[in-house]
Amino acid sequence: MNEPKTVTHSIVEMIELVLPNDTNVLGNLLGGRLMHWIDIAAALSAARHSNLVSVTAAVDNLVFHHPVKLGNIVTLKASVNRAFNSSMEVGVRVEVEDISTGEVKHSNSAYLTFVGLDKETKQPAKVPQIVPETDEQKRRYEQALIRRKQRLSEKHGIIQQ
């Protein structure tokens, strides 16, 4: 059951159209709506990798590079960067397409930590290790360990200089 899986197995791509109900009074996508979409894409990726219900444990900083406008197409690309014991780091890349010009911009990136839960006990369960195949996947795999160490040092109150 816990045989290693490739990153490719965890890839999720979601596409959303920014509608009036998704925007603020300026016609820009609500940040909370984008965060919701990011969380869903990442949860699906973690579940696809682990075959477990996976819950959000942490979200690293999220930077908004530019506003996303009413009528834009938002593409969210998620995949597991690295699996630890019961947790997984999932990376999500957000791209925005202007439907009138076809121009696509990188809007956001986010890293989320998910924990796979045992169906019956609802306690953390061991997840399969991940096997990166491409150079990009290997880079994200290595960087995920650096981010994990940073998260753990912050959690334990260790200040790095």
Quote the radius of gyration of the chain (alpha carbons, Å): 17
Q: Per-domain residue ranges for the chain?
A: 5-155
Dihedral (Cα; 8, 121, 112, 157), 10-degree rounding: -140
Q: How confident is the model at residue 151 (pLDDT cuts 50, 70, 90)?
A: confident
User: Averaged over 37-42, what is the pLDDT?
Assistant: 98
Half-sphere exposure of 142 (CA within 13 A, CB side): 6
- Position 97 scores a pLDDT of 98
Q: What's the predicted TM-score (pTM) here?
A: 0.92
Q: How confident is the model at residue 109 (pLDDT cuts 50, 70, 90)?
A: very high
- Position 159 scores a pLDDT of 55
Least reliable range by pLDDT among 11-15, 59-63, 153-157: 153-157
5-155 — its CATH code? 3.10.129.10
Q: How far apart are CA 46 and CA 152, in angstroms?
A: 20
Average predicted confidence (pLDDT) for the chain: 94
